[in-house]
Structure 1
Amino acid sequence: MKSRNWVVAAGIFLFLATLTSGHGTWHMFALDKEEFCTVVLYQRYDLKYALGSEQIFPLTQKCDASHDMVPGFVNPAVIIFLGLAILCVGVSVSASIRGRRPASTRRTDPPGVWPREAPLGHGAPDRVQRCDGGQPRR
């Protein structure tokens, strides 16, 4: 793949991470947290856990010791999407560096193999002289 395609993939993963994080942040906010926990989520509201439980990373907002208002898939998904975006940027940089290497340093044949001669009749002379004095391969 080209370097540009990896950058596009990284952008898509960053967008997905932002979207997932926004979904989790949306679940953190409620006008009346006690009412939201008891009426909407059917969970007991425990003031001991609810007051100091709000965190931005990892996203969390507790109703009680066992229930979080943020869905459980949000934090792992954000980490995975960010990791994939970083991986795509690294591959893009690698592909960009590999693509800009001068043509003289690129090898098409494996190490230790003589470069191939053109077959006879395709613009190559009838007798090919090699620097080692050997006969051409046919």
Structure 2
Amino acid sequence: MFVIPVVLLMGALVAVCVACFRRRSFTKRVRWCADAAVCGLAAAAVVYAWGGWKMFAWDIEETCGLQHGEIWDPAFAGESYFPLSKRCNANFDLVPSFVNPTIIVLLAASAALAVFACFSQRARKDPLRP
């Protein structure tokens, strides 16, 4: 449900950043915003991969019981990839709680920077502006 907008957002970010990098006549501000958008997108991918790594368990029952000291409850057990979650029981998740908000903030910041870079470049080329 939430995967489609995130994939579209990431695709739009990549398209805007590729379009910006193909042009060589930038101002410093536009180049900085495009670079920051790409770095934010890369950071979101790294945080997502790290959260995905935390989800990995050969045997979820042993992982919950031996490594985390939690009781595995199959009624609440389950996993999802967006938002990242792999529950041991109703109160404990293998993925740290800061991972999903960090991904959302990084993607939103990347989108805002890419849009700002795009509009700054267009405003610079507008012949009616002094």
Which bracket does the TM-score occupy, shorter chain normalised? 0.7 to 0.9
Higher relative contact order (CA 8 A, sep 6+): 2
Indicate which of 76, 91, 94 corresponds to 1:69.
Answer: 94
* Structure 2 spans left out of the alignment, 5+ residues: 1-27
Q: Which protein has the bigger helix share? A: 2
Map of 1:38 onto structure 2 = 65
* Structure 1 spans left out of the alignment, 5+ residues: 108-138
1:5 shift after superposition = 1.2
Aligned 8 A contact 2:76 2:90 in 1: yes
Q: Which protein has the bigger strand share? A: 2
TM-score (ref. length: structure 1): 0.72
Aligned residues: 103
Runs (4+) of structure 1 moved beyond 2 Å? none
The answer on 1:47 being equivalent to 2:70 is: no
The answer on 1:106 being equivalent to 2:129 is: yes
Map of 1:124 onto structure 2 = none
Aligned 8 A contact 2:87 2:93 in 1: yes
CA RMSD of aligned residues (A): 1.0
Report the AA paired with residue 92 of structure 1.
Answer: A
Larger-Rg structure = 1
Map of 1:79 onto structure 2 = 104
TM-score (ref. length: structure 2): 0.76
Instruction: Give the share of equivalent positions with the same residue, in percent.
Output: 32
Q: Secondary structure at the match of 1:54?
A: strand
